[in-house]
Structure 1
Amino acid sequence: MSVTLKLFFSSFVVLLCWRLFRVGRRPRDYPPGPPTIPILGNLHLIPKQNVHLQFQTWAREYGPVCSVMLGSKTMILLSDDQAVKEILDKRSEVSSDRMDLYMGQTLASGGLRVLLMRYGPSWRMVRRILHHRLNINSARSFEPYQTLESQQMIYDILKEPESFTQHVRRYANSLTTATTFGFRVPVYEDHHFQELFEVFGEFVLLAQTGVAALLDYMPLLRFIPEWMLPSKRRAKAHHRREKTLYRYHWDKAKANVVGSEKPNPSFSVGLVEEQKKNKFSDDFASYITGTLLEAGSDTTSNTLIGFLCGVLLFPDVQRCAQDELDRVIGKHRLPCLEDQANLPYIRGCVKESLRWMPTTVLGAVPHALTRDQYYMGFRLPKGAGLMNNVYTIHNDPTRYPNPRRFDPQRFKDDDQSLFEAATNPDVSKRDHFTFGAGRRICPGIHVAEQNLFLAISRLLWAFDFHCPVDEHGNQILPDPTKITQGFVCAPLPFKSIITPRDAGRARIICGEWEQAKEANLTPDTMQWRIFPQ
Structure 2
Amino acid sequence: MDLTLQHHLVRVEWVLTAFPTNMKAAKGLLALFVLVSAALAVIVWKTTKVGRRPRNWPPGPPTLPLIGNLHQIPRHNRHLQFQKWAKEYGPIYSLVLGGRAMVVLSSDQAVKDLLDKRSAIYSSRPDAYIPQDIASDGLRPLFMEYGKTWRMVRKLAHSVLNVQVARTYVPYQDLEVKAMLMGLLENPGDFVNHIRRYTMSLTTQLTFGHRTPTSADPMLLEVFDLTYAVKQAAAILDVYPMTRNLPNRLFPITQLGKEYHKREHALFMKLFLRARSQLQRGTAMPCCCIDLLRLQKEQGFSDDIACYMSGSLLQAGSETTAAILIGFVQAMVVFPEMAAKAQAEIDRVCGDRLPDLNDFPDLPYIRGCVKESLRWMPAVTLGVPHAVTQDDTYLNYHIPKGSAVVINVWGIQNDPARHPDPRRFDPSRWATDSQNSAEAANNPDVSQRDHFAFGAGRRICQGMHIADRSLFLAISRTLWAFDFKRTVGGRTGKEIVPDTDDLVDGLFTYPTPFKCNIVPRSSYKDLLVRKEWEAATGLLDENLQWKTAPEGLVWRDYEPQ
Q: Normalising by structure 1, what TM-score?
A: 0.96
Residue matched to 1:488: 508
Q: Distance in 1 between matches of 2:72 and 2:550?
A: 55
Residue matched to 1:230: 252
Residues 1:105 and 2:123 are matched in the alignment: no
Q: C-alpha displacement at 1:164, in angstroms?
A: 1.3
Residue matched to 2:37: 10
Residue matched to 1:443: 462
Residue matched to 1:180: 207
Residues 1:432 and 2:451 are matched in the alignment: yes
Q: C-alpha displacement at 1:399, in angstroms?
A: 0.4
Q: Distance in 2 between matches of 1:233 and 1:33?
A: 35
**Aligned counterpart in structure 2 of residue 366 of structure 1, from 366, 385, 396:** 385
Q: Which moved more, 1:399-408 or 1:155-164?
A: 155-164
How much identity, in percent, do the aligned residues show? 48
Residues 1:147 and 2:174 are matched in the alignment: yes
Residue matched to 2:301: 280
Residue matched to 2:14: none
Q: Which runs of 5+ in 1 are unaligned?
A: none
Matches within 5 A, 1:224-303: 224-260=246-282, 263-303=284-324
> Which AA in structure 1 matches 2:303?
D
Q: Distance in 2 between matches of 1:236 and 1:470?
A: 45
Larger Rg: 2
Residue matched to 2:543: 525
Matches within 5 A, 1:114-125: 114-125=141-152
- Please state whether the residue corresponding to 1:465 is helix, strand or coil: strand
Q: C-alpha displacement at 1:264, in angstroms?
A: 1.4
Residue matched to 1:503: 523
Residues 1:341 and 2:368 are matched in the alignment: no
Q: C-alpha displacement at 1:246, in angstroms?
A: 1.3
Residue matched to 2:25: none
Q: Which moved more, 1:459-468 or 1:158-167?
A: 158-167
Q: Distance in 1 between matches of 2:388 and 2:120?
A: 9
Deviations 1:287-338 (A, max 9, x none): 111111111111111111100100110011111001100110001x111112
Q: Distance in 1 between matches of 2:255 and 2:181?
A: 43
Deviations 1:432-478 (A, max 9, x none): 11100000001111100010000000000001110111234311122
Residue matched to 1:137: 164
- Please state whether the residue corresponding to 1:68 is helix, strand or coil: strand
Q: Distance in 2 between matches of 1:238 and 1:133?
A: 27
Q: Which runs of 5+ in 2 are unaligned?
A: 1-27, 552-561
Deviations 1:79-109 (A, max 9, x none): 0110011111111111000001111111111
Q: Distance in 1 between matches of 2:500 and 2:484?
A: 16
> Which AA in structure 1 matches 2:248?
E
Q: Normalising by structure 2, what TM-score?
A: 0.92
Q: Which moved more, 1:397-406 or 1:292-301?
A: 292-301
Indicate the RMSD between aligned Cα atoms, in angstroms: 1.2
Q: Distance in 1 between matches of 2:90 and 2:430?
A: 27
Residue matched to 1:200: 227
Q: Distance in 1 between matches of 2:333 and 2:261?
A: 40
Q: Distance in 1 between matches of 2:343 and 2:512?
A: 26
- Please state whether the residue corresponding to 1:155 is helix, strand or coil: helix
> Which AA in structure 2 matches 1:89?
D
Aligned residues: 523
Q: C-alpha displacement at 1:229, in angstroms?
A: 2.4
**Aligned counterpart in structure 1 of residue 403 of structure 2, from 378, 384, 388:** 384
> Which AA in structure 2 matches 1:461?
W
Q: Distance in 1 between matches of 2:82 and 2:518?
A: 36
Residue matched to 1:477: 497
Q: C-alpha displacement at 1:170, in angstroms?
A: 0.5
> Which AA in structure 2 matches 1:220?
M
Q: Which runs of 4+ in 1 moved over 4 A?
A: none
